[in-house]
Amino acid sequence: MTRVRKAVIPAAGLGTRFLPASKAVPKEMLPIVDKPVIQYIVEGAVESGIEEVVLITASSKRAIEDHFDRFFELEYRLEAAGKLDLLDEVRRLSGLARYVTVRQGAPLGNGHAVLVAKEVVGNEPFAMLWGDDVVLGQPPFVRQLISAHERTGGSVVGVMAVPPEDAVKYGVIEIAERLDDRLVRASRIVEKPPRNQVPSNLAAVAGYVLTPDIFSYLEQTGAGHGGEIWLADGVQKIAARGNLYALEFEGRRYDAGNKLEFLQATVDLALEHAELGPPFRAYLEEKLRGSPLPLGEAARQRG
């Protein structure tokens, strides 16, 4: 079986859920504590054995490319100032993996974004990771997907259990066969089903390991809703051939494109930070003891 060596990260979207912050700064570059969102995703992939990262970007996303590139002036100044720890950190980024950037010339859908990586990926399985979905845990999310792929030989989607009332927001797995407590074979993914037609409580999130036949299926897929090519339509064709599996992964998932979950990720990771954790925890405990009014309410009362 061909080893999974490459990861594709679509990151060409406009990030409208985070406007106005994402007007000039890619949403994937918004920091959670001291790292941008996309760095957490890349680091998890590399920890899982990924050697090459394919970044699907747009003309407005140059900052993503620059983040993983060398910055010689900064390195020179850090070295001259004796800030060797910071120097090592910025140099480490460019050496994590081999990076390939592919521009998605027009916003033609997430399926089209994956399709433009075809020539780089070639005829081998690959990880496909959403650029604003962060999963933290051990083993790393991508490693869990790769293990399921190695077991089944098929494409694998990461899923998490959600309450029925939330399932309507996701693509939900219809189960064809259960292999164990966490792994099932899926007959299809139902996108945002009506509440009375939810096929299970397993929602597709974070990413996939995909077999290379996805490219031919996407090439055969016509434009769908909004005139775009949707990855889910190609994945459905894999499922129809009995080769799609769903893994209920272990770990904490944050939708970093959602403002509330972005804040939750910031708090959780700040509390775990070796240097910032203790004083930040003390600050939060002090705030909770004082239970001050929200700033807006306090201002209204002063007025």
* Domains held by the chain: number: 1
Is 16 a member of any domain? yes
CATH of the domain at 181: 3.90.550.10
Residues whose CB falls within 8 Å of the CB of residue 58, separated by 6 or more in sequence, listed in order: 12, 103, 104, 107
Q: Is 289 helix (H, G, I), strand (E, B) or coil?
A: helix
- Stated pTM of the model: 0.92
pLDDT at 296: 53
CA 44-48-51 angle, 5° bins: 95
Low-confidence ranges of the chain (pLDDT < 50): 298-303
Is 1 a member of any domain? no
Is 109 a member of any domain? yes
Is 90 a member of any domain? yes
Is 117 a member of any domain? yes
Is 81 a member of any domain? yes
Residues forming a β-bridge with 244: 155
Is 218 a member of any domain? yes
Domain, as residue range, for 91: 6-302
The DSSP annotation for 130-150 comes to -TTEEEE-SS-HHHHHHHHHH
pLDDT at 282: 94
Inter-residue contact 135 to 40 (CB < 8 Å): no
Inter-residue contact 209 to 198 (CB < 8 Å): no
Task: For strands 183-191 and 244-248, give the pairing.
Answer: antiparallel
CA 119-187-137 angle, 5° bins: 70
Q: Which of 204, 231, 239, 191 is nearest to 215 (CA)?
A: 231
pLDDT at 294: 59
Is 18 a member of any domain? yes
